[in-house]
Chain A
Amino acid sequence: MAAEVMLMNEIEATAAQMGIDMNIDFSSIQLPPGENCGIISDDDDVYHDDQLEFDSGFGNVIVVDNLPVVPREKFEKLEGVIRKIYSQIGVIKEDGLWMPVDPETKKTLGYCFIEYNTPQEAELAKEKTHGYKLDRAHIFAVNMFDDFDKYMKVPDEWAPPEIKPYTPGENLQKWLADEKARDQFVIRAGTDTEVLWNDARQSKTEPVYKRTFWTESFVQWSPMGTYLATVHRQGAAVWGGANTFNRLMRYAHPQVKLIDFSPGEKFLVTYSSHEPSNPRDANRVVINIFDVRTGKVMRDFKGSADEFAVGGAGGVAGNSWPVFRWGGGKEDKYFAKLGKNMISVYETETFSLIDKKSLKVENVVDFSWSPTDPIIALFVPELGGGNQPARVSLVQMPGKEELRQKNLFSISDCKMYWQSNGDYLAVKADRYTKTKKSTYTGFELFRIKERDIPIEVLELDNKNDKIIAFAWEPKGHRFAVIHGDNPRPDVSFYSMRSTHNLGRVAKLTTLKGKQANALFWSPGGRFIVLAGLKGFNGQLEFFNVDELETMATAEHFMATDVEWDPTGRYVATSVTSVHEMENGFNIWSFNGRLLYRILKDHFFQFLWRPRPPSFLTPEKEEEIARNLKKYSKKYEAEDQDVSMLLSEQDREKRRMLKEEWEKWVSEWRRAQEEEKLERQKLRDGEASDEEEEYEAKEVEVEEVLDVSEEVLSFEE
């Protein structure tokens, strides 16, 4: 084509001639699955790994061994029996059952091949019938056909594995050593996922790493912030590194839906659920537990969705993820799953049940681990129409001794809240009133660390108040409750140590009529944000619990999420894409000063990068708190330098902009002057060009309206 610009209508005419539709909306184009337009995805090798398994095409074939050896007369009977057993599990292909016969003796050889429609069915058949006892002498040994190949290939001679030289890995914790002691966060908006520094001093963000289509559904930090996990169709992956984000490990798990790290980030639990081949069956669930560093599957669980639905038979806990809850603090020693009439507790050394059996608890519906100790708190609801009371008990692992038990009467519902150090457990119990028509709420407060675990009962001043939210002060001894009726509930603060008696709970204060429905304590305690999300349109109140005073009230209109940074210095509030408008996030100081706000359309996630626990001893921390002035001097000086530098940069930038603008203006004046004559011609010689140099003058006009003369008599 010639370099000359072609007219749009010419282009269209040409296009019409050739029968091309010009109305192409590129964003509407979706490539068919498997088509990549020649753009190679770096996840492709994962794909290939997956497909290798099915390359032989025998992934749906199983081999059943240890069948009886029968003569020709009994062949059909045996075949019938086998067909009956295996067609219950899945659909056997036509001519999919083949039992070879010795050509000389005409007897069967004691094994057969069964071909199913899908590899999943074959897998299931193998699982279900391996070890099946036909009779005493014939215990089925079932294998996947492909496995034979795999094991045949194992070389006879042991070759020593190649030892790779040790290459030191990257410092995955380098972000903690940031000179300016900043924190990072990840955001997801549109197709972009971005990790940013929160540079609060300069009231802006600083980019760390950005990637389009980094994840297919969501991202998640590991609990200590070392890794960022992404979720893909083929599995999950973790990313990290000293200065940027490299892929550290991949965890193959097709169609993974949910992931969960153990608290010490040693293990990663992945979950997927698959449509069954028979629509009457429940979905099949696959859960894998990976070792985060090696990427090895430590244990996998497969079964129907019913088995992994938390709460057994329609329990209290509506939330079914995570299925496995981790206990024993950061050491990742135990994990447990709620089952029907039992809690299955596994330990991570062997990945098997403690004592090889589950903890039997009739009708248990909910349990939770202490955040620090291997203690399980479990709840059993009322049974037999109130004859058998509901109860909460504390069970120590791995010994399974019951430490404490409390019976509760006429209970309708119960929730358990652990304090972050595992010092206290609050059990919120909803009880029926005598008429059973309504409920009221009370708290049972357990002091875990004290001898014999004393329990105290707390009722609100007005015990008919509905509880809207409850939250423990992290690492502290206080808690906050929102109670009362919408639209203006009250917020009360309690302490587990009253001033006179350390062993008694006492109310600190009640704030009347607050527009709040959620509580967000600072990770360091002391400060709390009372937030009115959803119906309250994003009201925020920053409250100091030590002084019992409000530091600031603010609003982030339509805010859906509130999150403190791990140090408790900043608060992020965000509006995610559940709302159409206002998407983006605000960063506030701990005392409620808005530092900056960033708007992003289609905003999905905001997550602060967590920090590992501090290595400082409590004594050392206290010492620092006492001598804060000494330590803060350095930072204050830095702050000042930054603000000086900032204003300097600002001035410089503005000067540049002004200069640039002046250049444009002078250019325009020149052009304007050049064209002056021609313009006059266009206006038929009208000389006035004044609109270009319009100048408003205020002119004062004095007008004599009337003059009248009057003779005034003058008396002497």
Chain B
Amino acid sequence: MRPILMKGHERPLTFLKYNRDGDLLFSCAKDHTPTVWFADNGERLGTYRGHNGAVWTCDVSRDSMRLITGSADQTVKLWNVQKGTQLYTFNFGSPARSVEFAIGDKLAVITTDPFMELTSAIHVKRIAGDSTEQTEESVLVIKGPQGRINRAVWGPLNRTIISAGEDAVIRIWDFETGKLLKESDKESGHKKTITSLTKAADGSHFLSGSLDKSAKLWDTRTLTLIKTYSTERPVNAVAMSPLLDHVVLGGGQDASAVTTTDHRAGKFEAKFYDKILQEEIGGVKGHFGPINALAFNPDGKSCSSGGEDGYVRLHHFDPDYFNIKI
């Protein structure tokens, strides 16, 4: 089916997130306004105004009531999804790069960039059920990895936190003690900055994408490398189908080099791979400029991509897609 082109952002997209029911799609971009769309027809439902910098990331609670966004304006904000009002603002001394609610939505993990004298850090905040009782206090702060931490997510049962970033190493931290439990192997692991990390629906495994032109699939509990998907481009975004054994990689050359080369050179395609056989099965073209964000609808029947060109493209899959055999 023809993709639905969703125009609304004025700057490159940075992040996409579906709610659990799969009826809403939240998008973040370098303009300052996260936007919510109907995931079915791509109609714009509303915006969340209040940030004063590029918005890098967001997450939505399981009940689709609350949205959390992290921005380069050094704040993380909690929003009322329905009304678009700000519930609370966490202030940091440096830009917030990633946020994620824990299982149960009572905790959130936030990563902040190295900035001025500050090193990068992973913060865990308690999220109050009633936002009037919300406090600034951190439950845990982890510092250590060199460079930016591009993504931090919760492990099973909120017991661990998985982080990845510029130093190309994936680390698993103990949430109780803040101690480092595991590090990915230098030999088999990524060689360059890890740009994205996404968990499987059940959290049992996760996929990481890196500028070393590959994506890798890991077991969440043991940090065992299971699969490697290699491509021709630096990978900016990854997504996993919850329905079929497919993974999608999006990327392209550095945004600053886009205008200096032919558009074909960039290969701004979202590439579909067979998750088990690691073979490429198809691609979706369309964006002008690299793809920065990818997300699968939880029903696995549609996916969306966000590009450096400022558009979100929503793809509802044709019936053929569900019968791909290789």
Contacts and interface: CB of A to CB of B under 8 A. Distances in A.
Interface string B136-161: 00000001111000000000111000
Nearest to A653: B277
Interface in A1-46: 5-9, 11-12, 22-23
Given A557-B264, A692-B202, A23 B103 contact: no
A694 B226 contact: no
A682 B103 contact: yes
Contacts of A5: 179-181, 183
B185 interface: no
A691 B20 contact: yes
A683 B62 contact: yes
B319 interface: no
Interface in B278-312: 278, 298-301
B181 A684 contact: no
A11 B253 CA distance: 35
A23 B146 contact: yes
B205 A678 contact: no
B221 interface: yes
A7 B264 CA distance: 45
Interface stretch (A60-68, A284-292, A668-676): A668-676
A671 B221 contact: yes
Given A7-B179, A557-B264, A668-B202, A682 B158 contact: yes
B276 interface: yes
Nearest to A696: B299
A687 B156 CA distance: 17
Contacts of B298: 691, 694
B277 A657 contact: yes
A558 interface: yes
Nearest to B177: A7
B104 A675 contact: no
B259 interface: no
B265 A658 contact: no
A11 B144 CA distance: 9
B143 A558 contact: no
B23 to A, nearest CB: 12
Contacts of B85: none
B265 A694 contact: no
Given A8-B180, A668-B202, A683-B62, A694 B157 contact: no
Contact of B103 (A12, A657, A683, A696): A683
Nearest to B145: A8
Interface string A638-681: 00000000000000001001100100100010011001001100
Interface in B311-326: none
A581 B253 contact: yes
Interface in A562-595: 580-582
A581 B243 CA distance: 34
B73 interface: no
A658 B277 CA distance: 8
A683 B104 CA distance: 4
A582 B181 contact: no
A99 B253 CA distance: 72
Interface in B228-271: 232, 242-243, 245, 253, 257, 261-262, 264-266
A581 B265 contact: yes
Contacts of A678: 157
A654 B279 CA distance: 11
Contact of B144 (A8, A581, A671): A8
Nearest to B301: A696
A457 interface: no
A599 interface: yes
B276 A658 contact: yes
Nearest to A682: B104
A664 B144 contact: no
Nearest to A537: B262
Given A671-B221, A672-B204, A679 B232 contact: no
Contacts of B202: 668, 672, 691-692
Q: Which of B178, B264, B300 has the most CB of A within 10 A?
A: B264
25 contacts: A5-B181, A5-B183, A7-B144, A11-B144, A12-B144, A557-B264, A580-B257, A581-B265, A582-B232, A654-B277, A657-B277, A657-B278, A658-B276, A661-B276, A668-B204, A671-B221, A672-B202, A672-B204, A675-B157, A682-B104, A682-B106, A691-B201, A691-B202, A692-B201, A696-B243
Interface of A: 5-9, 11-12, 22-23, 537, 557-558, 580-582, 599, 654, 657-658, 661, 664, 668, 671-672, 675, 678-679, 682-684, 691-692, 694, 696
Given A23-B146, A675-B156, A679-B103, 14 more contacts: A5-B180, A8-B146, A557-B262, A581-B265, A654-B277, A657-B276, A661-B276, A668-B204, A668-B205, A682-B157, A683-B62, A692-B202, A694-B242, A694-B299
Interface of B: 20, 62, 102-104, 106, 143-146, 156-158, 178-181, 183, 201-202, 204-205, 219, 221, 226, 232, 242-243, 245, 253, 257, 261-262, 264-266, 275-278, 298-301
